[in-house]
């Protein structure tokens, strides 16, 4: 790949201010275009996270690091892939038959991190990560609403303060606990949040 200016994580630290909502919306749309392309071509990335999303000088957004990617559908997959804080619940549970929905969970975790300006689930091991998700999953969306509201109150300049119910709906659909309930990249690109 050509040289890119930075990745999402490093760029946030370098510029020393949170992403604005319009920036997040643009970045998310670009990520989803890339993920939709991968999935359309039968590829699961399996390690999507802010440090694997590159930013260029011309507002280019590119996905990198395909070292853990795999073709789908089909065979059993390793349950030891990805970066802990962005792993889908089914991988954390040790499932070997999973789908490209694992990428959509990672996209949702990335969206939440951009909005909150911090990682949503910070487990210290696979078991602890799954517990962090399970502790909040039944009331996940009320938990998310509380987290988003608290972050917005503490830092009114955070993008989360401007997140609408429509944007929250997309986040909910990306972070659905059951893989069958997660939105696809193609459907996410057509979500009403991008038309707001």
Going by C-alpha positions, the residue among 57, 48, 3 that lies closest to residue 28 is 48
- Whether 47 is catalytic is yes
Q: Say if 103 falls within a structural domain.
A: yes
- Annotated catalytic residue: which of 47, 117, 169, 187? 47
Please tell me the total count of domains within the chain.
Answer: 1
117, 145, 164 from 109: Cα distances, Å: 11, 15, 18
Look at residue 157 and tell me whether its pLDDT is greater than 90. no
- Give the structural domain span for 132: 6-195
What is the C-alpha separation between 120 and 138, in angstroms, rounded?
16
Q: Looking at the domain assignment, is residue 32 inside a domain?
A: yes
Q: Are 68 and 94 in contact (CB under 8 A)?
A: no
The H-or-E segment that residue 71 falls in is strand 70-71
91-106 pLDDT, tens per residue? 999 998 899 999 999 9
Q: How confident is the model at residue 44 (pLDDT cuts 50, 70, 90)?
A: very high
Collapsing DSSP to helix, strand or coil, 182 comes out as coil
Residue 166 lies in a domain: yes
The yes-or-no verdict on residue 27 having pLDDT over 90 is yes
Of the pLDDT bands very low, low, confident and very high (cuts 50, 70, 90), residue 158 is low
In a domain, 135, yes or no: yes
Confidence of residue 43 (pLDDT cuts 50, 70, 90): very high
Is the predicted pLDDT of residue 141 greater than 70, yes or no?
no
**Distance in angstroms (rounded) separating the CA atoms of residues 77 and 120:** 26
Task: List, in order, residues 6 or more apart from 25 with CB less than 8 Å away.
Answer: 193, 194
For position 166, which CATH number holds? Answer: 1.10.510.10
CA distances from 10 to 17, 24, 55, 63 (A): 12, 15, 10, 15
Closest by CA position to 109, among listed 80, 134, 87? 87
Taking only the tens place, the pLDDT of each residue in 182-192 is: 999 999 999 99
Question: Does residue 1 lie within any of the structural domains?
Answer: no
């Amino acid at each position: 790949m050509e040289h890119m200016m930075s990745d999402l994580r490093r760029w946030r630290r370098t510029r020393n201010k949170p992403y604005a909502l319009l920036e997040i919306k643009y970045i998310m749309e670009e990520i989803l275009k890339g993920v939709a392309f991968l999935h359309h071509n039968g590829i699961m990335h399996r390690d999507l996270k802010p440090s694997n999303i590159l930013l260029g000088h011309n507002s280019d957004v590119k996905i990198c690091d395909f070292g853990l990617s795999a073709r789908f559908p089909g065979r059993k997959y390793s349950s030891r892939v990805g970066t802990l804080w962005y792993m889908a619940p089914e991988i954390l549970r040790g499932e070997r038959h999973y789908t490209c929905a694992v990428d959509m969970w990672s996209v949702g975790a990335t969206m939440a991190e951009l909005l909150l300006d911090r990682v949503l689930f910070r487990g210290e091991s696979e078991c602890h990560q799954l517990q962090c998700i399970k502790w909040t999953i039944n009331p996940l969306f009320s938990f998310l609403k509380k987290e988003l509201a608290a972050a917005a109150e503490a830092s009114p300049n955070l993008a989360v303060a401007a997140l609408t119910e429509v944007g929250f709906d997309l986040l909910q659909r990306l972070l659905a606990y059951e893989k069958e309930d997660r939105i696809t990249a193609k459907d996410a690109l057509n979500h009403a949040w991008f038309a707001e």
